[in-house]
Amino acid sequence: MIPRLFTHKLLSPGDLEPSDPRMRVVGVFNPGVVEVGGRTAILARVVEQPVEVRDGYIASPRFDDGELRVDWLACVDCDTADPRTLVSRTTGRVRLRFVSHLRLFWLDTPPDADAEPVVGDESQRIIPQGPYEQYGIEDPRITRLGDSYFITYVGVSEHGICTSLMRTDDFATFERLGVILPPDNKDVLLFPEKVAWQYAALHRPMPSMKFSPPRVWFAQSDDLISWGDHRPVAGLSIGGAFRDRAGGSTVPIRTERGWLVLVHGSDKQPGDGGAGVYSAGAVVLNRFKPWRVAARTPEPFMLPEHDFEKRGFVDNVVFPTGAVVRGGQLHVYYGAADEHAAVCGYDLAGLLGICEPV
């Protein structure tokens, strides 16, 4: 294990106004983060639930042609073992208990061990649009390529969980480029430079047939839209801590040892209720063949420690979604308990030092 240098909570539900008077904010977390001209942009996922409660029914909000609507599902037909979802006992179909959109914030002061960072007021909202974002948009990751910033994000709908792409040059306007990986796929991380003359990405397919343990895949593209040359990244999962799922967390950072990527996973076992404990490890990928793991932490180095990470909308979750190198430190931006956005710091050389060769 490697100790944190600091931990700061950045955003909480009580800091935000709901997007609609019928809703209440229950979470602001999993922020995509990037440095922009000396400032830090934080694009956070904001989760809302209906205020109204009806006996015998559970609300499931959605967007229809850009308008917020709420469906009411009978409790007797719903499996509610996972606090995030509703599963119909009749059809087996899954719905969400909430709906998500994205909001942009700017960090006015950088984090450190001595002072709380200051987050400015929100400057943009990105609301779900179209048939593939019906149940909301989630978990952005931001990569700078040239003079533009590309944002991968998850769209959830009756068609499944897919990954779409947006582009911005100024964080004032955002161009939607559409679905780039079909259902079910998420946690797409774009490399900040080309690999073998092509764009590169890590992604997380989620097959319903469990022929293999959870895995992350590598893919390449000529245009960031059409992806091919898919291959699994062997050895990325961090042991038994990632029994239930494993995914890429933060955009790859080039270091002298290779591409540093934080990865997340859950230790939930078959038959367990809830979501399990979410933790994070680190891997170093081969500089020229990033589908090969050169080194990794033997166990998760980032676990729920603080009360706001252990208790929340979903208990026991730390979920990194952004990382920035500053002054020899790795600043990790993450979601805590699916409720808060936070940042913590690690010594970068120390983290690379505990990654053991594979």
DSSP string covering 239-264: GGGGSSEEEE-S--EEETTEEEEEEE
Residues 102/152/261/287 CA torsion (nearest 10 deg): -150
* Number of domain units in the chain: 1
Q: Which domain holds residue 311?
A: 6-357
* Residue 258 CA, distance from chain mean position: 22
Residue 141, judged by CB atoms within 10 A of its CB (0-12, 13-18, 19+), counts as buried
Give the per-residue pLDDT at 167. 98
Please state, as a whole number, how many other Cβ atoms lie within 10 Å of the Cβ of residue 190: 24
Distance CA 78, CA 54 (A): 15
Between the CA of residue 222 and those of 56, 177, 206, what are the distances in Å? Answer: 52, 15, 24
Structure tokens at 53: 């409660």
Angstrom distance (rounded) from CA 23 to CA 103? 16
Which sign, positive or negative, has the C-alpha torsion 318, 319, 320, 321? negative
Domain annotation covers residue 119: yes
| 188 contacts 199 by C-beta, under 8 angstroms | no
Number of H helices and E strands in the chain, helices first, is 2, 27
Supply the pLDDT for residue 38: 86
Per-residue pLDDT at 23:
96
Residue (of 349, 321, 11) closest to 138 by Cα position: 321
Question: How far is 156 from 134, CA to CA, in rounded Å?
Answer: 6
Long-range contacts of 287-290 (CB under 8 A, 24+ apart): 287/254, 287/258, 287/259, 288/195, 288/196, 290/191, 290/195, 290/200, 290/202, 290/218, 290/233, 290/252, 290/258, 290/259
The predicted pLDDT at position 272 comes to 67
Q: What is the CATH number of the domain that holds 122?
A: 2.115.10.20
Instruction: Judge whether 296 and 236 are in contact, CB under 8 Å.
Output: yes
Assess if residue 1 is contained within a domain: no
- Domain annotation covers residue 309: yes
Closest CA to 183 of 165, 202, 149, 157: 157
Query: Which residues are CB-neighbours of 286 under 8 A, at least 6 positions away?
Result: 258, 259, 292, 293, 294
| Domain assignment present for 339 | yes
As averages over each run of 10 residues, the pLDDT of the chain (358 residues) reads 95 96 97 94 97 94 91 91 87 92 93 87 93 97 97 96 97 97 96 96 86 86 97 76 82 97 84 79 95 94 97 95 96 98 97 94
Residue 210 lies in a domain: yes
Query: What pLDDT score was predicted for residue 148?
Result: 97
Flag whether 157 is in a domain.
yes
pLDDT at 351: 97
Query: Could you tell me where the beta strands, DSSP code E, fall in 127-256?
Result: 136-145, 148-157, 160-168, 175-181, 185-190, 199-205, 217-221, 227-232, 245-248, 253-255
Please report the beta strands in 19-84, taking only residues with DSSP state E, as ranges in sequence order. 23-36, 39-50, 57-64, 67-74, 78-79
Is 227 within the bounds of a domain?
yes
* pLDDT for res 239: 63
3-state secondary structure of 175: strand
- Look at the alpha carbons of 218, 224, 226, 229 in this order and tell me if their dihedral is positive or negative: negative
* Any domain includes 35: yes
